[in-house]
Chains A and B, each alone.
Chain A
Amino acid sequence: MSVKEDLYYSEDHEWVREEEDYLVIGVTDFAQEELGDIVFVELPEVDEEFDKDDSFGVLESVKAVSDTFIPVSGRVIKVNEDLLDNPELINDDPYGEGWLIKVDPADDSELDELLSAEEYAEFIEEE
């Protein structure tokens, strides 16, 4: 199970990476491991706006259905369309090619409320 440095994490097992003009959001290695083989992904439309902790998509594994919750408020500027045909990218590379959406954040200070890599590692230890 890997937790990547330099990312922000939520207790719902999403990660956030800060780029210059936007944020990239995905699910953690722990989350994909828990779900098992992901076979279907439902993502939002570009320009959809969400408040922090809203459900913005659905991941389905062979056995289970799971909502994804946005860790910060903002507007979707890009979705990872490769996942529509290759949902297994989330299992194979959750912090890289398996990213879910890119977001223009509404309030940068929300990032401070998220967990650091170290805090998230402790959090999943207790789960």
Chain B
Amino acid sequence: MKKTPLNQVHKNMGAKMTDFGGWEMPVEYTGIIEEHKAVRNKCGLFDVSHMGEILVSGKNAKKSLQKIIANDLNKLEKGKIIYTPICKEDGGIIDDLLVYSLQDDQFLLVVNASNIEKDYNWIKEHLLEDTTAENLSANYAMVALQGPNSKKILTQLTDIDLNSLSYYRFREAKVAGVNMIVSRTGYTGELGYELYFEPEEAEKMWDELMEAGSDFGLQACGLGARDTLRLEKIYALYGNDIDESTNPFEAGLSWTVELDKGDFIGRKKLIDIKENCCQRKLTPFVIRGRGMARHGYEVYAGEEKIGEVTSGSYSPTLEEGIGLAYLKSEHTEVGSEIEIKVRNRKIKAEVVKGPFV
């Protein structure tokens, strides 16, 4: 199994470890619910060094990426970040990622751990001349500091003015004397930062952040809480809610597809898909009966199967079962009553307006 530079730190802290797409990662330290609430109310620190980083640079870097991604790089000036899918010709999602504009001819792509090789090969294949892609995943450690107290904690360790760093922007800065990218992004829906730095500094950074956060309720958080936090905000999880068999429109990601920006891979098909959108839609629901929905469970309206659950969990904030399912469009109206097949019985659920929290 692959290990992040913080592997030993997690084990020393007594974290429960799991295999996450070939990476040995912490699921929880003291409990998912406690960690989840820490992020909503105070602050949490996550090791997300398994994420991949691909640097695209050269004369035609921007032009190449405009062809590869569905969102529009013209929205992106230096120091800004955009979220975008990469689609296949048929509109299926290869990955969802962040693009950081480092220089006019240099972009850093932050991709899902399970897709690093796939993305890297796809990008290389579609680059224009005088442009290169480098897989720098091993060169970066990455931690996410997330929660209402994150700014107060980070401020203690850096000279940059975090008040001037707005959502989806980044800056190169020194934190606790270490050079890094400080990015105002996250996967929790709370005020937060993602930090990218050299793996050799990972243990020192973790300790510095935990120390600086000790007066602010900072809690080490695992992938378990990361999943419940993102689900409450309906942030898609690649491999669960989106994959190569789903398109951005049915996934609720239409805002990430710029059909008018010029040609890009999948555009032709995506125009069709948008016009006929959608036979099915990713739909949030709350469990009203007794039970919990999980990935892969079938969804019914009466005797008719109308879809499948892509993400299902307990919501620590709402204290009830929540989930996402691709449902036939006629069943996606808020208030629609649906049933989830849990083991050998069906439990009631209701379509709600997202996000859950």
**Chain A interfacial positions (CB closer than 8 Å to B):** 36-37, 39-40, 42, 58, 60-63, 65, 84
Contacts and interface: CB of A to CB of B under 8 A. Distances in A.
Interface stretch (B135-143, B160-168, B286-294): B286-294
Contact of B32 (A36, A58, A60): A36
Nearest to B225: A62
A39 B31 CA distance: 12
A19 B77 CA distance: 73
Contacts of B16: 36
A65 B296 CA distance: 13
Contacts of A42: 290-291
B40 to A, nearest CB: 14
Contacts of A58: 343
A62 B224 contact: yes
A63 B291 contact: no
- B contact patch SS: mixed
Interface of B: 16, 27-28, 31-34, 224, 227-228, 290-292, 294, 313-314, 316, 321, 343
Nearest to B227: A63
Contacts of B224: 36, 62-63
A62 B291 contact: no
Contacts of B31: 36-37
13 contacts: A36-B27, A36-B224, A37-B33, A37-B314, A40-B290, A60-B291, A60-B314, A61-B32, A62-B32, A62-B224, A63-B224, A63-B313, A65-B294
A65 B290 CA distance: 14
A90 B33 CA distance: 15
A36 B316 CA distance: 13
A63 B292 contact: no
Nearest to A62: B32
Given A36-B32, A37-B32, A63 B27 contact: yes
Nearest to A64: B294
A59 B33 CA distance: 16
**Which of A58, A60, A63, A84 has the most B CB atoms < 10 Å from its CB?**
A63
